[in-house]
Amino acid sequence: MALLAGRRAHAENRDAWRARFMDCRARSEALAAPLFPEDQVVQSMPDVSPTKWHLAHVTWFWETFVLAPYLTGYRVYDPVYNHLFNSYYEAIGPRHPRPARGLLSRPGVAEIAHYRAHVTAATERLITTADATTFAILLSLIELGMAHEEQHQELILMDIKHVFAQNPLMPAYKSPAPKTARAASPLKWSRYAGGLVEIGDDGAGFAFDNEGPRHKVWLEPFRLATRLVTNGEYLAFVADGGYRRPEFWLSDGWAAVNASGWEAPLYWQRDGERWFEFTLSGLVRLDPFAPVVHVSHYEADAFARWSGRRLPTEAEWEIAGAEVSVEGNFLDSRALHPCAATGEGLQQMFGDCWEWTQSAYAPYPGFRTSAGAIGEYNGKFMSGQMVLKGGCAVTPPGHVRASYRNFFPPAARWCFGGIRLAEDG
Ligand SMILES: [Fe+2]
The per-residue pLDDT for range 308-351, each reduced to its tens digit, is: 999 999 999 999 999 999 999 999 999 999 999 999 999 999 99
d(CA 161, CA 278): 8
- Stretch 78-98: mean pLDDT, rounded? 92
d(CA 40, CA 57): 14
Q: How far is the centre of ligand 1, averaged over its atoms, from the C-alpha of 152 (Å)?
A: 7
- Average confidence score pLDDT of the chain: 95
The 10s digit of each residue's pLDDT in 199-258 is 999 998 999 999 999 999 999 999 999 999 999 999 999 999 999 999 999 999 999 999
309-334 burial, b for 16+ CB within 10 Å, e for fewer?
A: bebbbbbbbbbbbbebebebbbbeee
d(CA 413, CA 177): 21
Give the pLDDT of residue 6: 43
Neighbours of ion ligand 1 (CB under 5 A): 87
Give the pLDDT of residue 373: 84
Q: How far is the centre of ligand 1, averaged over its atoms, from the C-alpha of 376 (Å)?
A: 11
pLDDT(3) > 80 = no
Contacts of 14 (CB under 8 A, 6+ apart): 127, 128, 135
- Place 181 in a pLDDT band, splitting at 50, 70 and 90: confident
d(CA 51, CA 374): 23
Q: Contact at 8 Å (CB) between 350 and 395?
A: no
d(CA 363, CA 213): 9
Q: How far is the centre of ligand 1, averaged over its atoms, from the C-alpha of 29 (Å)?
A: 16
- Place 10 in a pLDDT band, splitting at 50, 70 and 90: low
d(CA 66, CA 373): 13
pLDDT(4) > 90 = no
88 CB neighbour count, 10 Å cutoff: 12
pLDDT(7) > 60 = no
Give the pLDDT of residue 12: 65
Q: How far is the centre of ligand 1, averaged over its atoms, from the C-alpha of 145 (Å)?
A: 9
Q: How far is the centre of ligand 1, averaged over its atoms, from the C-alpha of 87 (Å)?
A: 6
Q: How far is the centre of ligand 1, averaged over its atoms, from the C-alpha of 406 (Å)?
A: 14
The 10s digit of each residue's pLDDT in 48-86 is 999 999 999 999 999 999 999 999 999 999 999 999 999
Q: How far is the centre of ligand 1, averaged over its atoms, from the C-alpha of 48 (Å)?
A: 12
Q: How far is the centre of ligand 1, averaged over its atoms, from the C-alpha of 187 (Å)?
A: 37
Q: How far is the centre of ligand 1, averaged over its atoms, from the C-alpha of 66 (Å)?
A: 14
The 10s digit of each residue's pLDDT in 260-305 is 999 999 999 999 999 999 999 999 999 999 999 999 999 999 999 9
Q: Contact at 8 Å (CB) between 262 and 256?
A: yes
Q: How far is the centre of ligand 1, averaged over its atoms, from the C-alpha of 346 (Å)?
A: 33
Q: Contact at 8 Å (CB) between 168 and 185?
A: no
